Structure 1
Amino acid sequence: MDKTEVNIGFDIGISSVGWSVVATKSGRILESGVSLFSGASAAKNEERRNFRQSRRLLRRRKNRISDLKKYLTEQGFTYNEKLINENPYEIRVKGLTEKLSKEEIATALLHIVKRRGVSYDLGDIEEEGTTGSYKEGVKKNQKLLKEKTPAEIQLQRLKNFHKVRGQIIIDENDVLLNVFPNHAYVDEAKQILAVQQEFYPEIDEAFINRVTDFISRKRDYFIGPGSEKSRTDYGIYRTDGTTLQNLFSILIGKDKIFPDEFRAAGNSYTAQIYNLLNDLNNLAIDDTETGKLTKQQKEKIITELKTTEKNVNMMKLIAKTAGVTVEQISRYRINRDGKPEIHNMPVYRKIRKVFLELGYEINEWPEQLLDDLGDALSLNTENGEIRRILTDNLADKYTILDQQLINLIIENKNAFTLSTNQKWHRFSYKTMKILIPELLETNKEQMTILTEMGLMKKDQRNYAGKNKIDSEALLENLYNPVVRKSTRQTMKLFNTLLKKYPNIAYVVIEMPREDDEDKARRDYVKFQKDNEKEKDAALKNFIMESGKSEAEVIAKYRQSKKFRSKVRLWYQQMGRCLYSGKAMPAERVFRDDHFTDIDHVIPLSVSFDDGMNNKVLCLAEMNRQKDKQTPYAFFNAGHGQGFQAMSAMLKNNNRISSAKKRNLLFTENLNDLEVRKRFIERNLVDTRYASRVVLNELQQFVKAKQLDTKVTVIRGKFTSKLREKWNINKSRDTHHHHAIDAAVIAVSPMLNLWEKGASIIPNKVGENVIDIKTGEIITDHDYEADVYELPYAKFLEQLPKVKKDIKFRHQVDKKKNRKVSDATIYTTRKAKVGKDKEETDYVLGTIKDIYSLEGYVSFKKIYNKDKTKFLMARIDPKTFEKLEKIVAEYPESIEVVQDNGKVDVQKISPFELYRKDNGFVTKFAKKNNGPAVKSLKYYDSKLGSSIDITPDNAKNKKVVLQSLKPWRTDVYFNEENQEYEIMGLKYSDLKFGKNGKYGVPKVRYEEIKQEERVSEGSKFQYSLYRGDRIKVTNELGESVELLFASRTLPAQKGYVELKPIDKTRFDGKEKVSFYGNVTPNGQFVKKFAKKGYKILKLNTDELGNTYIENGEKEPSDILDM
Structure 2
Amino acid sequence: MNYKKLILGLDLGIASCGWAVTGQMEDGNWVLDDFGVRLFQTPENSKDGTTNAAARRLKRGARRLIKRRKNRIKDLKNLFEKINFINKASLDKYINEHSATNLVEDFNRHELYNPYFLRSIGITEKLTREELVWSLIHIANRRGYKNKFAFDIEGDGKKRETKLDEAISNALISSNLTISQEIVRNKKFRDAKNKKALLVRNKGGKEGENNFQFLFARDDYKKEVDLLLAKQAKFYPELTEEIRAKAADIIFRQRDFEDGPGPKKQELREIYKKENKQFSKNFTQLEGRCTFLRELSVGYKSSILFDLFHIISEVSKISKYIEENDQLAQDIISSFLYNEAGKKGKTLLKEILKKHHINDDIFDTNAYKNIDFKTNYLNLLKEVFGNDVLKNLSLNRLEDNIYHQLGFIIHTNITPERKEKAINQWLLENNIILAKEKLNILLKPNSSISTTVKTSFKWMSIAISNFLKGIPYGKFQAQFIKEDNFKLPESYAKQYQKYLTGEKTFEMFAPIIDPDLWRNPIVFRAINQARKVIKKLFEKYTFIDQINIELTREMGLSFSDRKKVKERQDDSLKENAKAKEFLMANGIIVNDTNVLKYKLWIQQNKKSLYSGKEITIADLGASNVLQIDHIIPYSKLADDSFNNKVLVFSKENQEKGNQFADQYVKSLGTENYNNYKKRVNYLLFQNQINQKKAEYLLCSNQNEEILNDFVSRNLNDTRYITRYVTNWLKAEFELQSRFGLAKPKIMTLNGAITSRFRRTWLRNSPWGLEKKS
Question: TM-score normalised by the shorter chain: which range applies?
Answer: 0.7 to 0.9
Aligned match for 2:604, one of 557, 573, 577: 573
Cα deviation digits, residues 909-938 of structure 1 (max 9, x gap): xxxxxxxxxxxxxxxxxxxxxxxxxxxxxx
After superposition, the Cα gap between the structure-2 partners of 1:74 and 1:125, relative to the gap in structure 1 and judged at 3 Å, is same
In 2, Cα distance between the equivalents of 1:681 and 1:443? 15
Paired position in structure 2 for 1:656? 689
1:562 aligns with 2:593: yes
Paired position in structure 1 for 2:468? 440
Paired position in structure 2 for 1:501? 541
Aligned-residue offset at 1:415: 9.9
In 2, Cα distance between the equivalents of 1:260 and 1:529? 43
Question: Is contact 1:68–1:211 with CA below 8 Å preserved after alignment?
Answer: yes
Cα deviation digits, residues 741-800 of structure 1 (max 9, x gap): 8xx9xxxxxxxxxxxxxxxxxxxxxxxxxxxxxxxxxxxxxxx9xx99xxxxxxxxxxxx
SS in 2 for 1:567: helix
1:61 aligns with 2:97: no
SS in 2 for 1:418: helix
Question: Is contact 2:317–2:371 with CA below 8 Å preserved after alignment?
Answer: no
After superposition, the Cα gap between the structure-2 partners of 1:323 and 1:197, relative to the gap in structure 1 and judged at 3 Å, is same
Aligned match for 1:200, one of 220, 225, 236: 236
Paired position in structure 2 for 1:1097? none
Aligned-residue offset at 1:564: 1.8
In 1, Cα distance between the equivalents of 2:753 and 2:465? 41
Question: Is contact 1:685–1:714 with CA below 8 Å preserved after alignment?
Answer: yes
After superposition, the Cα gap between the structure-2 partners of 1:24 and 1:253, relative to the gap in structure 1 and judged at 3 Å, is same
C-alpha RMSD over aligned residues: 5.1
In 1, Cα distance between the equivalents of 2:447 and 2:392? 21
Question: Is contact 1:118–1:182 with CA below 8 Å preserved after alignment?
Answer: yes
Aligned-residue offset at 1:325: 0.7
After superposition, the Cα gap between the structure-2 partners of 1:100 and 1:398, relative to the gap in structure 1 and judged at 3 Å, is same
In 2, Cα distance between the equivalents of 1:77 and 1:620? 100
Question: Is contact 1:278–1:445 with CA below 8 Å preserved after alignment?
Answer: yes
Question: Is contact 2:366–2:691 with CA below 8 Å preserved after alignment?
Answer: no
Cα deviation digits, residues 585-636 of structure 1 (max 9, x gap): 4446435555543223344345443232332334545544554455566567
Paired position in structure 2 for 1:682? 713
> Which structure has the greater CA radius of gyration?
1
Alignment of 1:134-283 (within 5 A): 149-152=178-181, 157=190, 164-168=200-204, 177=213, 179-203=215-239, 205-227=241-263, 228-231=266-269, 247-255=282-290, 262-277=297-312, 283=318
Question: Is contact 1:15–1:39 with CA below 8 Å preserved after alignment?
Answer: yes
Aligned-residue offset at 1:218: 1.2
Paired position in structure 1 for 2:405? 372
Question: Is contact 1:606–1:680 with CA below 8 Å preserved after alignment?
Answer: no
After superposition, the Cα gap between the structure-2 partners of 1:200 and 1:411, relative to the gap in structure 1 and judged at 3 Å, is farther
Aligned-residue offset at 1:372: 1.8
Paired position in structure 1 for 2:101? none
SS in 2 for 1:230: helix
Structure ranking higher in helix proportion? 2
Cα deviation digits, residues 190-235 of structure 1 (max 9, x gap): 3323432443345455444433333322111121013522346997
Paired position in structure 2 for 1:809? none
Give the letter aligned to residue 17 of structure 2: V
In 1, Cα distance between the equivalents of 2:477 and 2:141? 60
Aligned match for 2:418, one of 359, 374, 385: 385
Aligned-residue offset at 1:112: 1.0
Aligned-residue offset at 1:20: 3.1
Give the letter aligned to residue 116 of structure 2: Y
In 1, Cα distance between the equivalents of 2:558 and 2:347? 39
Aligned-residue offset at 1:268: 1.4
SS in 2 for 1:298: helix
In 1, Cα distance between the equivalents of 2:240 and 2:595? 87
Higher relative contact order (CA 8 A, sep 6+): 2
Extract unaligned runs of 5+ from structure 1: 544-549, 731-740, 745-783, 789-1121
SS in 1 for 2:410: helix
In 2, Cα distance between the equivalents of 1:412 and 1:512? 41
SS in 1 for 2:127: coil
Paired position in structure 1 for 2:108? none
1:49 aligns with 2:79: no
Aligned-residue offset at 1:108: 0.8
Paired position in structure 2 for 1:993? none
- Bigger drift between 569-578 and 360-369 goes to 360-369
Paired position in structure 2 for 1:83? 94
- Bigger drift between 12-21 and 410-419 goes to 410-419
- Bigger drift between 2-11 and 467-476 goes to 467-476
SS in 2 for 1:31: strand
Aligned-residue offset at 1:439: 3.7
Paired position in structure 1 for 2:642? 612
1:319 aligns with 2:360: no
In 1, Cα distance between the equivalents of 2:289 and 2:305? 17
Question: Is contact 1:20–1:32 with CA below 8 Å preserved after alignment?
Answer: yes
Question: Is contact 1:263–1:426 with CA below 8 Å preserved after alignment?
Answer: yes
Aligned-residue offset at 1:256: 7.1
Paired position in structure 1 for 2:142? 115
In 2, Cα distance between the equivalents of 1:628 and 1:679? 19
Paired position in structure 2 for 1:713? 748
Extract unaligned runs of 5+ from structure 2: 45-49, 99-111
Cα deviation digits, residues 679-734 of structure 1 (max 9, x gap): 3453454333343444466578499679796543333454455556636877xxxx
Question: Is contact 2:301–2:377 with CA below 8 Å preserved after alignment?
Answer: no
Give the letter aligned to residue 468 of structure 2: L
After superposition, the Cα gap between the structure-2 partners of 1:664 and 1:431, relative to the gap in structure 1 and judged at 3 Å, is same
After superposition, the Cα gap between the structure-2 partners of 1:21 and 1:291, relative to the gap in structure 1 and judged at 3 Å, is closer
Give the letter aligned to residue 486 of structure 2: K
In 2, Cα distance between the equivalents of 1:274 and 1:517? 22
Alignment of 1:529-608 (within 5 A): 529-535=570-576, 552-553=585-586, 555-558=587-590, 560-580=591-611, 582-587=612-617, 589-590=619-620, 594-605=624-635, 607-608=637-638
After superposition, the Cα gap between the structure-2 partners of 1:380 and 1:607, relative to the gap in structure 1 and judged at 3 Å, is farther
Paired position in structure 2 for 1:1049? none
Give the letter aligned to residue 588 of structure 2: K
Alignment of 1:707-1106 (within 5 A): 711-720=746-755, 723=758, 726=762
Paired position in structure 2 for 1:526? 567
In 2, Cα distance between the equivalents of 1:124 and 1:722? 52
Give the letter aligned to residue 251 of structure 1: L
SS in 2 for 1:641: helix
After superposition, the Cα gap between the structure-2 partners of 1:586 and 1:184, relative to the gap in structure 1 and judged at 3 Å, is farther
Aligned-residue offset at 1:170: 13
Question: Is contact 2:8–2:547 with CA below 8 Å preserved after alignment?
Answer: yes
After superposition, the Cα gap between the structure-2 partners of 1:232 and 1:680, relative to the gap in structure 1 and judged at 3 Å, is farther
> Which TM-score applies when normalising by structure 2?
0.74
After superposition, the Cα gap between the structure-2 partners of 1:410 and 1:91, relative to the gap in structure 1 and judged at 3 Å, is same
Alignment of 1:20-59 (within 5 A): 20-24=20-24, 29-41=32-44, 43-59=51-67
After superposition, the Cα gap between the structure-2 partners of 1:234 and 1:680, relative to the gap in structure 1 and judged at 3 Å, is farther
Aligned-residue offset at 1:113: 0.7
Give the letter aligned to residue 439 of structure 2: I
After superposition, the Cα gap between the structure-2 partners of 1:482 and 1:256, relative to the gap in structure 1 and judged at 3 Å, is closer
Question: Is contact 1:305–1:344 with CA below 8 Å preserved after alignment?
Answer: no
After superposition, the Cα gap between the structure-2 partners of 1:687 and 1:177, relative to the gap in structure 1 and judged at 3 Å, is same
Paired position in structure 2 for 1:483? 523
> Which TM-score applies when normalising by structure 1?
0.53
Paired position in structure 2 for 1:458? 486
Cα deviation digits, residues 1019-1058 of structure 1 (max 9, x gap): xxxxxxxxxxxxxxxxxxxxxxxxxxxxxxxxxxxxxxxx
Question: Is contact 1:355–1:362 with CA below 8 Å preserved after alignment?
Answer: no
